[in-house]
Structure formats: structure tokens, C-alpha cells
């Protein structure tokens, strides 16, 4: 569509109203003013067109030109995404710095999302030949984008036809054509990159029920409130509850083929810290720098607010693209509240009827649209591929109050909740995921998988853990009133075990490399040891041994140290625990019998 | 050209409300631009905050007293709100728009800078990691400040936040380095007495020559109060990024700033967020505090220490709440400790420095820092727990161990947290002091690596 011109009628912060635009389309990209600031049409009221501008609008003047492009706001998808740090409009930030020679983000800068000069080694798929019929999603070839990621070159969605020409294996830039497909009516050139509108979910063949857990390396998630591949989860928490540390950790250690971190309206220094750690840290499973499987979108809190929405949607689009290649993708969005606030600001400037606390009435549907992009799917095309996009969204409730609109509406669309608790954080219990408030509706879906890797015991153990913790919460209420001494001995023991679960199992240090990532095996080992201690001690208590005697035993303290060692050493410790515990119990029984 | 000049004046004021004036749009007027209002011969400045073909909304720096439709002339200046910046601003006192208050000559600008600044490119930031020794034990040991961090003090009315801020200005240094540093001090809506206190202190400590001070006392125009922190930060950025200085910015009292923001928002009839504060307050504060940082390959840094008083000592109030979401931690003052006579009355459990782990350890502070921090924190928490139990069941059931923890907790408050306003403790002194207190506890309860215990525990030293 050719470009059409209009003029600015009004400017109010990130909102610009234009008039005189011929047949405007909703969500069409427009260039505003002489500098060509990027904006998007978000409402059309009669002659007036409302534009959300993604860059600072200061200095714009009434009457300046507005150019409608006919395009939707789109992402460039192709090799070169991995390892890049983008802003909310998919401009690579390091390139912006090089281009402007400045440490600040200037407005109106146009930079290509994917490097136009870099050559990629394209390996044509063996089965793909001239004259062959292909349709959307078919893999034509691949590119080793990083040592741990093979980038698949796919027929773009909506394209179906006969291969008229296909490039030989060799070096190509993202703009070069690698195949020509004749659809009968037209000839489509397939390049090394595709363009896809960020507001539109990418198509797939079929959505599947989740069945496998996405291992995060966090025991409280993996073994208590598991998340499935293709799942959607929210992490609400007040400030200082360790939200960002947890989210970065998930991005770092999660068993994902591709991890996407969207820093949306958050701190620049933390982003810098995360970038540094991703360059320096190695993926435990593949022994390569984590940057080789990660994409960053950094739209910090001081960058234009309207771009917060695009940064979240851009993340989802890139995630779906890798999902379509058959990968398990993890998307972390920190924080969805800042995006919601941006919606509130724009809505207020448009003088829309406000909903709760000034948020627009469509807040809920926008959140739903975002979280619904998660899922495990069979991708379009051949060869058949299953991929998933798992979404973790953080929520920053004002005052840590979960009854506010963003948290409440988010809860309607997610399947797993990891509620961060302020009290746990002040007690330095990290991750501060509250076991009383959190839940996962994926437990039943992934039960079979986790039982299988744990000798059939996981489900039972998990429920027992939760029961103990629930009972502890009730007992602590009593203790607060009358002190611990009046409790029956069995309850005193339960408090000891609950402490063991909290300190030896649930707590995990982000700064101890042995503990930051915990394998399922190691987590399960700790579960096993704690319950072994509990069951044996319960027998002792029932046969009249007072709890303070059990507290004096040395071997149970070994359990607290399992987490600090790699798996094989933890196994040795476990064996040492069993041996010495058995001995100590025998001595104790002998002792009491002798009295 | 003449014609254009002519059209850039209007006298058509439609209405005036608070500090907002609604006028007929002047052709060519742009969003965010500065205008001059001629009120009975007196020139006041204003800024365009909303412009459409017909109506322009102007926010005035100053009062709307005397504005008369048909009489007041509004002239477009064709520029944004920018201020002159120069190293010569050090040693001077200015108002919120960088106009001298000290009777000195106007600043000869090295350049002009827009007070709104621009966002630092996140990909070019350097993660902050240089330890700033403040000489205040509880801060250095437990809530370490690093260069490029933004760490606020959450206080309450009547608490000694100003003294703490001045102590930090007086004592803060990065060890082993002789680098040019500067202090930028901004006071928003403070009383005359407070403003004088700060200036006197700065003079007394001889730091006034390294300080650029900006004052907008309580009676200043609302819009000047809104401009002040940005003016101060613009000067700070100039000194850091253009002059390679390490700049510590103290902003007080940011609660007054937020009140001004609410006032303007209400005048503009915006949809209010929580407790009447505008929904964009997070973003507004973030665009200021995010100006802190370090940049790859550049000398200089901007470290920001905002001070705010929590209304009713309520940390969930929107002002401290939103601030806490933006800043890299917070130092929270406790009224209870202050009543007990502890200075600085820092609430250890509510305070936090998110940049701490980057700034401590061997080569930066000392190898035992992290372990000592963890241990004193846990021991103090255990002591607090025991205090609560005593409150319920009395002291009778206490064990020997419990009594030691209580002894530690008292000593921790009176000897470790507590220190004189003029006492500078080196980080070594601070950590040694922590070890002295830890030696009260049973040694087997210390979860510290053995070699560190052997090296630093008073029992093995001497």
C-alpha cells in the first residue's frame, strides 16, 4: 500500500492525534513529524486518528506531517536474533550506540533489526528439490546460528506452492533469496528472514496438552509447583522480594533451547548486570555461554512508555518463531505491571472511560492475549516438529497487595502462580516463593513424567511436603500465642522437619553455583532424606523419645548441606547420612531402653 | 520572518486554573516548548504540556496570580527547558531553574542541556561494582553503596535523615583512588531551616567548593519544585559524562516532589491512580533515578541518594512503594531505634542494597565481608525472634545460648549500628567490630568457613 499523508492536530505526551489521513487502518505504523518518529494507530474517531508514539514527542508541532505506511508493526525474524539486545522496537541497542556515537538513546534512529552485511552459512535440507510441493512451515534448510542453536529456514506462513528455484548450500545474507516458490498466481521469494506483525500470534497446526515439565533448576518450582513446557505462569511480588533475581535465574538455568528476557520498564543497572552474567556464565547442560541461546529486549523504565507494550509483544513473536522451529522457548517478561501502567497512561490521555484504579477496561483482554500465546504445539510444515513457548510474567503489585487489578486479572489467565512473600524475603528465604499462596495446575499433567524419574514416589512426597508445611503454618499460629513448649512432641518434630524442608530444600542460593541450579535428581535426593528422617524420628517419638534428644543428633544436619554440593558428592553425603543416622538412632534407642 | 514573529504572540487566554493556563494555540508552537507570559510587565516562564490546533495548555513556573484574559501576552521562545551547565557551577547555589541564588554572577555556560535528559543506552551501561566507603558501619557492612547505584533513604518526619545524608557526603570515598569527585545537592520543598542546615554543613566540611547546590524551598512555585531534581541531575550528568567526575547526587525531600506532581496532575484533571497520585508517577520518578549509572569505557559516574519521608511511616504508601520498585534497594530508618537513642537508626530488616554483592569481597572490601554480613544478619534476626518470645512467655525458659543471642542483639544496636555523627569507621574497623560482637555467640553456631574464623575471630587473633 502506498503511503498516505496527514497532519498533526494535537500532541499530549506519547499520544498524537492526526487528521487528514486517508483510509487509516487500525494498528498501522505511521511516521510522525519531520524526524519520522515511529507510532501506531490505536483508535480512529471520525476524522481524527489517535497515534501512540513509541519515541519522545517533545518538540513536535501542530501541523507537522504524519505518514501512514500501510504496514503493521512487525518483527524481523531470522538468523542474528540470538545474542542481540533490542529495544522495544527491535532496534539493536549496541548498533544504535555505534551509529549515534552517543551513550544515550536518541530518537528517530533507524537501524536494521538484523545485520544486513553478515553472511550466514545456509545448509539446504536434503529432501528439498526444484519442482517439489511445499507449504507453510516446511523446512528448506538450516543455519548454525550459534554453536548450540540450529536456525531453521522455513517457508513463511501463508505460502504454498512449488519450488521453482532453491539456493545451494553456501553463504548468504538475511536479505538474499534462498528459494523461489511459485504459488500459481505469484512467485514468492523466500529470504533468510521473515517479517511478522507483533500483534498477531503466529499460526501452528495444533495446540497440545502440556505433558512434560520445563525444568528450571529451582526445587520449589520443579518439585513442588512444576511448570509445564508451554505453560504460563505469573510471579507477583512487592519490591525487594527478589523478583528480578528469580526471573533472571529462570532465564539462565531453565532447560530451554532459547531463552528470551524482556526487561520492560525495569532497572538499567540490573539489565547491565544480567547481560554481563549471560556473557560470562556457562549453560550447565551444554557448557556454552548462555548468550548463545538468549535474546534480550531491554526497554528500561526511563525509555518511552508506549514501547513497553511492543517489547512484550516482540518477545512473544520471537518466541513463537523459535517455537515453530521445534524448540522449547522460555519467555520471561519483567514486569507486566509496567506494561499495564503504560496502557493506563495512554488510555487516560485518550480520555477513555477508566476501569478500576484508572486502568482501561481492556486491560484483562490484553493480558489474556499475551498469555494465550504460550503453549505447546505441533508446528506447521515438514518435518513434523513439536515446540513450546513457556511464559513467565512478573507482576509488581503496588504495596505488595495482590488484590490490585493487574495481579487479579493476570490470575485469570495463568496456570501456575509463584507468589513472592515479603516476610520470607526479609527472613532471607530465597526464592521467596510462598508455599501457602502459590499453586500449579500442571501438577497432574506432569505427574507421570516426574514419577517416572523418581521411582514412582514424587507425587506422594510432594503432597506430604505440602501437608507438613501447611500444618507448620497452623502450629506457628499457636506457638505465637503460647510459645513452643506446650506443643505435643509429634508437633515439635513436625516443626523440626518443616524447618529442614524450608532451609535444606526450598531455600536456594543464587550466588552459590552448586545451588543456583539444582537437578531433579538432587532435589529428589533431599526430599528422600528429609522424609526418611521424619519417618524414623516419628517412630522414635511415638516410642517415647523426646524431640530435644533427636535435635541433638549430628547426622540430620548433613541434610542441610546436600544442596551445596554437586550431585555425586551429594549422593555420598546422603549415604553418609543414612549410615550415621542409623547408628545414632540405634544408640538413642539403646540409651532409652537402658534408662 | 517578521510576520512569523508577530504570529508567535497571543493574548487569547481562555482560562486559568492552578498553574495551568489554557490559551488559543499559536501556529508553530511545539510540545514541551518554553513560553513567556507577560503579566503586567512581569515575565514568567511556562511550558507547553498539551497542544492541539485550537487550544494550548501551558504550565507556568510561578503563580498564576494576575493572569487576565485579553491582557496577558504569551510569547513563544522556540526552545525547550534547558539550562546552562559548567564545572563553574561547583561551589554555587541555584534555584530549580539553575538561576543563581547566592548573589554571584550568572554561570558562563560550557553548554546548554535539556533538563529532561535522554535515556542511557542499557546495552552500553557498565554494571556498578566499585565500593563506596561511607564510614557508617551499618551501611558499609550490610547495605553497601556502590558507584552508579541509586540508593534512597526512606525516613519519617523527625528522623535524622539529613544528618545521615551529610555524614555520607562528608565521609564517602572510594579507597585507593584519587579521582575527581563532586556533590550535587538538590533540596525540594524543604523548610528554610533545613536548607540552611545543609549549606552550613557543606561549608563547615569544606566540601562546598565541590558542591553544586539547588534549592527550591517550600514556598517556591510548584513547577520549579518539579524541575529541580531534573536540573540537578542534568548538571550531575554533565560533570560525570563530560568532565569524568564521580558525582554523588543527594535529593531531598522527594516526598515534596511527589506532592507537587499530584498537585499538577489534579489541576490537569487527569485520571488519578492510587491515593490521588498520577498513574505515571512510576515512570516520572524512573526517568530521574535511572540517570544514575556507569558507562562502558567512560570515566565518571552518577550515584543518586534520594531522601524521602514516608507519610505516616508507611512503607506501602505509593511514594516509597514506587521508589522501591525503581531504586536498587533502600535504607529504611526506624522510629523505634531512634527512640532508643541509636544513630543512625537503620532498620536492618527492611533495608537492602541490590548492588551489594557486586561491590564487596576480596580486593574490594575484605574476603570475610559476605560471610560476616550473613552471620550478623541471622544472629540479629534470631535475637529479635527471642525478644518477641520474651514478650510472650518471659525470660525464664531462656537457655544459655538464647541469652548470648540477646546480648549480641543489644550490643549490635548500641555498638555496631550506633555511632557518632562525626565518626568515620573504615571497612576493616567495621568488620573487626562485627567479629568482636560475633565472639559473644557460641563459636559452633557460626556458619562461617573455618579459615576465616581462624583469621578474624578475636579469640584467635591477638
ipTM: 0.89
Interface test with B, best of A62, A269, A281 (most B CBs within 10 A): A269
Q: What is the DSSP letter of A554?
A: S
**Residue B290 — φ and ψ, nearest 5°?**
-70, -5
Across the interface, whether the CB atoms of A9 and B52 are under 8 A apart is answered yes
Tell me which residue in A11, A57, A104 faces B119 most closely, judged by beta carbons: A104
Across the interface, whether the CB atoms of B127 and A481 are under 8 A apart is answered no
Q: Tell me the residues of chain A between 26 and 65 that have a Cβ less than 8 Å away from chain B.
A: 56-63
Domain limits for position A326: 206-442
Using a CB-CB distance cutoff of 8 angstroms, which residues of chain B are in contact with residue A275?
Answer: 123
Q: Are strands B246-252 and B181-188 parallel, antiparallel or unpaired?
A: parallel
At residue A78 the predicted structure's pLDDT band, cuts being 50, 70 and 90, is very high
Residue A286 in grid coordinates:
551444554
Q: Is residue A504 part of a domain?
A: yes
* Residue B278 burial by Cβ neighbours in a 10 Å radius (0-12, 13-18, 19+): buried
Q: Is the CB of A336 inside 8 Å of chain B's CB atoms?
A: no
Across the interface, whether the CB atoms of A269 and B118 are under 8 A apart is answered no
pLDDT at A591: 61
- Cα distances (angstroms) measured from residue A7 to each of A29, A38, A45, A65, A162: 15, 15, 15, 5, 45
pLDDT digits (tens, 9 = 90+) for B352-392: 999 998 899 998 999 999 999 999 999 999 999 899 888 87
Average pLDDT, stretch A539-550?
Answer: 93
N- to C-terminal Cα separation, chain A: 95
Q: Is the CB of A184 inside 8 Å of chain B's CB atoms?
A: no
Could you give the maximum distance between any two Cα atoms of chain B, in Å?
A: 92
CB B148 within 8 A of CB B327: no
Q: Verify that A497 and A590 share a domain, yes or no.
A: yes
Residue B2: pLDDT above 70?
Answer: no
Residue B241 in grid coordinates:
559524562
- CATH code for the domain of A15: 2.40.30.20
Q: What is the DSSP letter of A314?
A: H
Which of A361-365, A416-420, B88-92, B389-393 shows the lowest per-residue confidence on average (mean pLDDT)?
B389-393
Nearest to A291 by CA among A316, A319, A261: A261
| Cα pseudo-dihedral A95, A96, A102, A103, rounded to 10 | -90
pLDDT at B397: 77
Q: Is the CB of A301 inside 8 Å of chain B's CB atoms?
A: yes
- Taking the CA of residue B82 and the nearest CA in chain A, the distance in Å comes to 13
Q: Is residue A22 part of a domain?
A: yes
Q: Where are the beta strands (DSSP E) in A521-573?
A: none
Q: Verify that A432 and A555 share a domain, yes or no.
A: no
Q: Is the CB of B148 inside 8 Å of chain A's CB atoms?
A: yes
At residue A353 the predicted structure's pLDDT band, cuts being 50, 70 and 90, is confident
At residue A2 the predicted structure's pLDDT band, cuts being 50, 70 and 90, is low
Average pLDDT, stretch A539-556?
Answer: 92
Nearest to A500 by CA among A479, A536, A527, A467: A527
Q: Is residue A347 part of a domain?
A: yes
Q: Is residue A144 part of a domain?
A: no
Q: Is residue A109 part of a domain?
A: no
Residue B324, helix vs strand vs coil? helix
| Contact residues for A507 (Cβ-Cβ < 8 A; gap 6+) | A429, A430
Q: Verify that A306 and A335 share a domain, yes or no.
A: yes
Which of A282-296, B142-156, B340-354 shows the lowest per-residue confidence on average (mean pLDDT)?
A282-296
pLDDT at A595: 40
- C-alpha A530/C-alpha A88 separation (Å) is 47
Average pLDDT, stretch B411-425?
Answer: 97
Q: Verify that A403 and A282 share a domain, yes or no.
A: yes
pLDDT digits (tens, 9 = 90+) for B7-52: 478 888 888 887 889 999 888 888 988 888 888 888 888 889 899 9
In total, how many domains does chain A have? Answer: 3
Q: Is residue A114 part of a domain?
A: no
- Taking the CA of residue B200 and the nearest CA in chain A, the distance in Å comes to 34
The domain segmentation of chain B, as residue ranges, is 2-80, 83-359, 369-456
**Residue A298 — φ and ψ, nearest 5°?**
-115, 100
Q: Verify that A466 and A371 share a domain, yes or no.
A: no
Using a CB-CB distance cutoff of 8 angstroms, which residues of chain A are in contact with residue B31?
Answer: 11-12, 57-61
Q: Are strands A416-417 and A232-236 parallel, antiparallel or unpaired?
A: parallel
At residue B4 the predicted structure's pLDDT band, cuts being 50, 70 and 90, is very low
Locate cell 493480558: which residue? A367
pLDDT digits (tens, 9 = 90+) for A240-275: 899 989 998 999 899 999 999 999 998 999 999 989
pLDDT at A345: 86
Closest chain B CA to residue A275: B123
Q: What is the DSSP letter of B270?
A: P
Q: Tell me the residues of chain A between 150 and 179 that have a Cβ less than 8 Å away from chain B.
A: none
- Taking the CA of residue B32 and the nearest CA in chain A, the distance in Å comes to 5
Closest chain A CA to residue B320: A399
Interface test with A, best of B23, B31, B295, B371 (most A CBs within 10 A): B31
Closest chain A CA to residue B241: A103
Domain boundary among A57, A72, A87: A72
- C-alpha B349/C-alpha B343 separation (Å) is 16
- Element containing residue B436 per DSSP (H, E): helix B427-438
- Taking the CA of residue B104 and the nearest CA in chain A, the distance in Å comes to 33
Q: What is the 3-state secondary structure (H, E, C) of A71-107?
A: EECEEEECCCCCCCEECCCCCEHHHHHHHHCCCECCC
Across the interface, whether the CB atoms of B316 and A60 are under 8 A apart is answered no
Q: Is residue A502 part of a domain?
A: yes
Q: Verify that A254 and A344 share a domain, yes or no.
A: yes
- C-alpha A77/C-alpha A258 separation (Å) is 14
Mean pLDDT of chain A: 93
Q: Are strands B211-216 and B92-94 parallel, antiparallel or unpaired?
A: parallel
Across the interface, whether the CB atoms of A59 and B33 are under 8 A apart is answered yes
Q: What is the 3-state secondary structure (H, E, C) of A379-409?
A: CCCCCCCEEEEEEEEEECCHHHCCCCHHHHH
B224 or B178, greater pLDDT: B224
pLDDT at B41: 83
**Paired strand residues for A70:** none
- C-alpha B77/C-alpha B64 separation (Å) is 19
Closest chain A CA to residue B116: A58
**Exposure on the CB side of residue B322, measured as CA atoms within 13 A:** 26
- CATH code for the domain of A464: 1.10.1140.10
CB A468 within 8 A of CB A260: no
pLDDT at A325: 98
- Element containing residue A514 per DSSP (H, E): helix A513-516
Tell me which residue in A105, A338, A348 faces B271 most closely, judged by beta carbons: A348
- Taking the CA of residue B105 and the nearest CA in chain A, the distance in Å comes to 31
| Contact residues for A153 (Cβ-Cβ < 8 A; gap 6+) | A122, A139, A140, A141, A142, A143, A178, A190, A192
Domain boundary among A49, A72, A95: A72
Q: According to the CATH classification, is domain B83-359 in 3.40.50.300?
A: no
Q: Is the CB of B449 inside 8 Å of chain A's CB atoms?
A: no
Q: Verify that A245 and A394 share a domain, yes or no.
A: yes
Tell me which residue in B51, B121, B354 faces A104 most closely, judged by beta carbons: B121
**Residue A105 — φ and ψ, nearest 5°?**
-85, 115
User: What DSSP string describes A342-385?
Assistant: HHHHHHHHTTPPB-GGG-BTTHHHHHHHHHTT-EEEEPSSSS--
Q: Tell me the residues of chain A between 484 and 543 that have a Cβ less than 8 Å away from chain B.
A: 485, 511
Q: What is the DSSP letter of B327?
A: S
pLDDT at B17: 82
Residue A559, helix vs strand vs coil? helix
Q: Verify that A391 and A281 share a domain, yes or no.
A: yes
Across the interface, whether the CB atoms of A302 and B286 are under 8 A apart is answered yes
Nearest to A321 by CA among A468, A491, A194: A194
- CATH code for the domain of A235: 3.40.50.300
pLDDT at A357: 85
User: What DSSP string describes A27-72?
Assistant: TEEEEETTTTEEEEEEEEETTEEEEEESS--TT-BTT-EEEEEEEE
Residue A39: pLDDT above 50?
Answer: yes
Q: Verify that A478 and A356 share a domain, yes or no.
A: no
Q: Verify that A406 and A514 share a domain, yes or no.
A: no
Nearest to A10 by CA among B49, B9, B284: B49
- C-alpha B204/C-alpha B199 separation (Å) is 9
Nearest to A315 by CA among A292, A298, A303: A298
- What is the number of residues in chain A? 595
Closest chain A CA to residue B326: A267
- Taking the CA of residue B462 and the nearest CA in chain A, the distance in Å comes to 32
Domain boundary among A442, A473, A508: A442
Residue B80 in grid coordinates:
525547550
- Taking the CA of residue A509 and the nearest CA in chain B, the distance in Å comes to 12
CB A49 within 8 A of CB A356: no
Residue A406 in grid coordinates:
493487574
Average pLDDT, stretch A145-168?
Answer: 96
Using a CB-CB distance cutoff of 8 angstroms, which residues of chain B are in contact with residue A271?
Answer: 122, 125
Q: Is the CB of B217 inside 8 Å of chain A's CB atoms?
A: no
**Paired strand residues for A74:** A197
Residue B235: pLDDT above 90?
Answer: yes
pLDDT at B383: 95
Q: Verify that A275 and A406 share a domain, yes or no.
A: yes
Q: Verify that A363 and A243 share a domain, yes or no.
A: yes
- Taking the CA of residue B271 and the nearest CA in chain A, the distance in Å comes to 6
Which of A181-185, B367-371, B387-391, B427-431 shows the lowest per-residue confidence on average (mean pLDDT)?
B387-391
Across the interface, whether the CB atoms of A348 and B270 are under 8 A apart is answered yes
**Residue A154 — φ and ψ, nearest 5°?**
-115, 155
Across the interface, whether the CB atoms of B52 and A11 are under 8 A apart is answered yes
Q: According to the CATH classification, is domain B2-80 in 3.50.50.60?
A: no
Across the interface, whether the CB atoms of B31 and A60 are under 8 A apart is answered yes
- Cα distances (angstroms) measured from residue B75 to each of B25, B45, B46, B99, B235: 11, 10, 10, 21, 28
- C-alpha A330/C-alpha A216 separation (Å) is 10
pLDDT digits (tens, 9 = 90+) for A490-506: 999 999 999 999 999 99
**Exposure on the CB side of residue A299, measured as CA atoms within 13 A:** 31
- Cα distances (angstroms) measured from residue A458 to each of A494, A523, A570, B138: 20, 10, 19, 44
Residue B131 in grid coordinates:
565500593
Q: What angle do CA B221, B224, B226 make, to 5 degrees?
A: 115
A430 or A486, greater pLDDT: A430
Q: Is residue A511 part of a domain?
A: yes
pLDDT digits (tens, 9 = 90+) for B159-181: 999 999 999 988 988 877 677 88
Using a CB-CB distance cutoff of 8 angstroms, which residues of chain A are in contact with residue B449?
Answer: none
Average pLDDT, stretch B298-311?
Answer: 95
Residue B1: pLDDT above 50?
Answer: no
Across the interface, whether the CB atoms of B30 and A60 are under 8 A apart is answered yes
Using a CB-CB distance cutoff of 8 angstroms, which residues of chain A are in contact with residue B326?
Answer: 267, 301
Amino acid at each position: 500500500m502506498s503511503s498516505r499523508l496527514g497532519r498533526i492536530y494535537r500532541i499530549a505526551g506519547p499520544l498524537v492525534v492526526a487528521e487528514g489521513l486517508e483510509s487509516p487502518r487500525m494498528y498501522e505504523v505511521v511516521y510522525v513529524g519531520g524526524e519520522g518518529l515511529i507510532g501506531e494507530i490505536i483508535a480512529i474517531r471520525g476524522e481524527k486518528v489517535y497515534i501512540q508514539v513509541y519515541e519522545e514527542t517533545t518538540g513536535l508541532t501542530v501541523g507537522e506531517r504524519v505518514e501512514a505506511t500501510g504496514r503493521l508493526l512487525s518483527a524481523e525474524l531470522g538468523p542474528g536474533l540470538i545474542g542481540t539486545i533490542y529495544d522495544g522496537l527491535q532496534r539493536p541497542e549496541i548498533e544504535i550506540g555505534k551509529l549515534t556515537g552517543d551513550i544515550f538513546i536518541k530518537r528517530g534512529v533507524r537501524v536494521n533489526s538484523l545485520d544486513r552485511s553478515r553472511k550466514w552459512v545456509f545448509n539446504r535440507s536434503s529432501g528439498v528439490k526444484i519442482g517439489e510441493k511445499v507449504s507453510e512451515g516446511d523446512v528448506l534448510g538450516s543455519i548454525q546460528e550459534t554453536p548450540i542453536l540450529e536456525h531453521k529456514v522455513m517457508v513463511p506462513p501463508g505460502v504454498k506452492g512449488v519450488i521453482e528455484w532453491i539456493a545451494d548450500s553456501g553463504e548468504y545474507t538475511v536479505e538474499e533469496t534462498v528459494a523461489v516458490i511459485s504459488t500459481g498466481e505469484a512467485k514468492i521469494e523466500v529470504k533468510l528472514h521473515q517479517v511478522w506483525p507483533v500483534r498477531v500470534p503466529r499460526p501452528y497446526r495444533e495446540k497440545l496438552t502440556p505433558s512434560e515439565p520445563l525444568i528450571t533448576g529451582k526445587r520449589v518450582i520443579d518439585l513442588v509447583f512444576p511448570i509445564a513446557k508451554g505453560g504460563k505462569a505469573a510471579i507477583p511480588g512487592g519490591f525487594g522480594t527478589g523478583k528480578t533475581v528469580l526471573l533472571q535465574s529462570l532465564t539462565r538455568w531453565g532447560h530451554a533451547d532459547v531463552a528470551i528476557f524482556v526487561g520492560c520498564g525495569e532497572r538499567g543497572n540490573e539489565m547491565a548486570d544480567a547481560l554481563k552474567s549471560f556473557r560470562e556464565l556457562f549453560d550447565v547442560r551444554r557448557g556454552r555461554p548462555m548468550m548463545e541461546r538468549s535474546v534480550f529486549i531491554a526497554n528500561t523504565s526511563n525509555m518511552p512508555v508506549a514501547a513497553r507494550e511492543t517489547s512484550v509483544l516482540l518477545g512473544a513473536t520471537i518466541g513463537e518463531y523459535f517455537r515453530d522451529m521445534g524448540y522449547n522457548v522460555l519467555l520471561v517478561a519483567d514486569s507486566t505491571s509496567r506494561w499495564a501502567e503504560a496502557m493506563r497512561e495512554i488510555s487516560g490521555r485518550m480520555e477513555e472511560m477508566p476501569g478500576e484504579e484508572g486502568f482501561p477496561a481492556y486491560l484483562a483482554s490484553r493480558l489474556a492475549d499475551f498469555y494465550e500465546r504460550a503453549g505447546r504445539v505441533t508446528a506447521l510444515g515438514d518435518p513434523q516438529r513439536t515446540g513450546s513457548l513457556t511464559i513467565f510474567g512478573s507482576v509488581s503489585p503496588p504495596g505488595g497487595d495482590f488484590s490490585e487489578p493487574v495481579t487479579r486479572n493476570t490470575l485469570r489467565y495463568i496456570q501456575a502462580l509463584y507468589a513472592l512473600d515479603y516476610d520470607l524475603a526479609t527472613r532471607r528465604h530465597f526464592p521467596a516463593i510462598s508455599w501457602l499462596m502459590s499453586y500449579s495446575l500442571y501438577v497432574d499433567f506432569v505427574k507421570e513424567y516426574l514419577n517416572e524419574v523418581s521411582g514412582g514416589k514424587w507425587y506422594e512426597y510432594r503432597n506430604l511436603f505440602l501437608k507438613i508445611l501447611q500444618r507448620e503454618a497452623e502450629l506457628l499460629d499457636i506457638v505465637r500465642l503460647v510459645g513452643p513448649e506446650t506443643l505435643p512432641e509429634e508437633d515439635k518434630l513436625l516443626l523440626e522437619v518443616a524447618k529442614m524442608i524450608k532451609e535444606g530444600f526450598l531455600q536456594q542460593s543464587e550466588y552459590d553455583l552448586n545451588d543456583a541450579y539444582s537437578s531433579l535428581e538432587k532435589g529428589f535426593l533431599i526430599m528422600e532424606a528429609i522424609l526418611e528422617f521424619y519417618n524414623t524420628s516419628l517412630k522414635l517419638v511415638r516410642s517415647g523419645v523426646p524431640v530435644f534428644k533427636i535435635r541433638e543428633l549430628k547426622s540430620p544436619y548433613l541434610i542441610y548441606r546436600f544442596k551445596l554440593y554437586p550431585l555425586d558428592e551429594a549422593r555420598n553425603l546422603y549415604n553418609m547420612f543414612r549410615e550415621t543416622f542409623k547408628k545414632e538412632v540405634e544408640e538413642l534407642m539403646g540409651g532409652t531402653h537402658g534408662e | 520572518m517578521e510576520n512569523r514573529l508577530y504570529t508567535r504572540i497571543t493574548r487569547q487566554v481562555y482560562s486559568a486554573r492552578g498553574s495551568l493556563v489554557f490559551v488559543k494555540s499559536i501556529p508553530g508552537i511545539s510540545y514541551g516548548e518554553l513560553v513567556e507570559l507577560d503579566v503586567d510587565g512581569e515575565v514568567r516562564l511556562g511550558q507547553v504540556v498539551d497542544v492541539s490546533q485550537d487550544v494550548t495548555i501551558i504550565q507556568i513556573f510561578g503563580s498564576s496570580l494576575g493572569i487576565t484574559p485579553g491582557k496577558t501576552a504569551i510569547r513563544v521562545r522556540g526552545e525547550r527547558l534547558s539550562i546552562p551547565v559548567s564545572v563553574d557551577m561547583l561551589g554555587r547555589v541555584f534555584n530549580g531553574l539553575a538561576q543563581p541564588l547566592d548573589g554571584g554572577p550568572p554561570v558562563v555556560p560550557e553548554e546548554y542541556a535539556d533538563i529532561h535528559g535522554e535515556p542511557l543506552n542499557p546495552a552500553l551501561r557498565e554494571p556498578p561494582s566499585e565500593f563506596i566507603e561511607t564510614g557508617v558501619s551499618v551501611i558499609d557492612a550490610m547495605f553497601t553503596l556502590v558507584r552508579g547505584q541509586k540508593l534512597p533513604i526512606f525516613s519519617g518526619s523527625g528522623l535524622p535523615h539529613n544528618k545521615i545524608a551529610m555524614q555520607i557526603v562528608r565521609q564517602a570515598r572510594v579507597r585507593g583512588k584519587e579521582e575527581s569527585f563532586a556533590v550535587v545537592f538538590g533540596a525540594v520543598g524543604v523548610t528554610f531551616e533545613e536548607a540552611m542546615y545543609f549549606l552550613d554543613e557543606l561549608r563547615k566540611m569544606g566540601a562546598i567548593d565541590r558542591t553544586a547546590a539547588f534549592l527550591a524551598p517550600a514556598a517556591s512555585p510548584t513547577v520549579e519544585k518539579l524541575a529541580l531534581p531534573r536540573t540537578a541531575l542534568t548538571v550531575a550528568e554533565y560533570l560525570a559524562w563530560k568532565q569524568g567526575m564521580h558525582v554523588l547526587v543527594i535529593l531531598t525531600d522527594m516526598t515534596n516532589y511527589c506532592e507537587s506532581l499530584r498537585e499538577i496532575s489534579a489541576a490537569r484533571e487527569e485520571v488519578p491512580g492510587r491515593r490521588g497520585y498520577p498513574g505515571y508517577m512510576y515512570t516520572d520518578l524512573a526517568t530521574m533515578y535511572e540517570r544514575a549509572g556507569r558507562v562502558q569505557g567512560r570515566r565518571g559516574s552518577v550515584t543518586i541518594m534520594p531522601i524521602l519521608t514516608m507519610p505516616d511511616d508507611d512503607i506501602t504508601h505509593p511514594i516509597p512503594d514506587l521508589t522501591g520498585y525503581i531504586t536498587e534497594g533502600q535504607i529504611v530508618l526506624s522510629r523505634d531505634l531512634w527512640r532508643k537513642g541509636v544513630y543512625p537508626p537503620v532498620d536492618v530488616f527492611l533495608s537492602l542494597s541490590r548492588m551489594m554483592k557486586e561491590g564487596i569481597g576480596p580486593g574490594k572490601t575484605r574476603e570475610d565481608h559476605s560471610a560476616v554480613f550473613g552471620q550478623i544478619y541471622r544472629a540479629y534476626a534470631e535475637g529479635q525472634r527471642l525478644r518477641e518470645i520474651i514478650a510472650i512467655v518471659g525470660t525464664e525458659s531462656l537457655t544459655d545460648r538464647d541469652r548470648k543471642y540477646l546480648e549480641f542483639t543489644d550490643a549490635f544496636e548500641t555498638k555496631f549500628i550506633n555511632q557518632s555523627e562525626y565518626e568515620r569507621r573504615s571497612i576493616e574497623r567495621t568488620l573487626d567490630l562485627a567479629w568482636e560482637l560475633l565472639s559473644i555467640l557460641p563459636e559452633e553456631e557460626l556458619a562461617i568457613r573455618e579459615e576465616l574464623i581462624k583469621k578474624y575471630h578475636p579469640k584467635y587473633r591477638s
